[in-house]
């Protein structure tokens, strides 16, 4: 079975967000990720 190296665009967006929050020394919690992505906390 061949594995795909592509990820869903939303997964990449979340990873970028987490990286940026860490770079900005922001506490990495669900609320901050949701706030940065402009989505509800339930969707994170």
Per-residue pLDDT of the chain (44 residues), as tens digits, is 567 678 888 999 999 999 999 999 999 999 999 999 999 999 98
Collect all residues with Cβ–Cβ distance below 8 Å to 21 and sequence separation of at least 6. Answer: 28, 32, 33, 36
What does the pLDDT read at residue 21?
97
The predicted pLDDT at position 1 comes to: 59
Please tell me the predicted confidence (pLDDT) of residue 5: 76
pLDDT at 24: 96
pTM of the complete model: 0.77
Q: How many CB atoms lie within 10 A of CB 31?
A: 10
Domain-by-domain residue ranges, the chain?
9-43
Distance separating alpha carbons of residues 8 and 27, to the nearest angstrom? 25
For residue 13, give Cα distances in angstroms to 1, 2, 28: 27, 24, 15
Give the pLDDT confidence score for residue 7 in this predicted structure. Answer: 84
């Amino acid at each position: 079975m061949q594995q795909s190296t592509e990820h869903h665009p939303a997964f990449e967006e979340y990873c970028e967000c987490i990286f940026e929050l860490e770079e900005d020394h922001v506490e990495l919690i669900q609320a901050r990720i949701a706030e940065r992505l402009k989505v509800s906390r339930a969707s994170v």
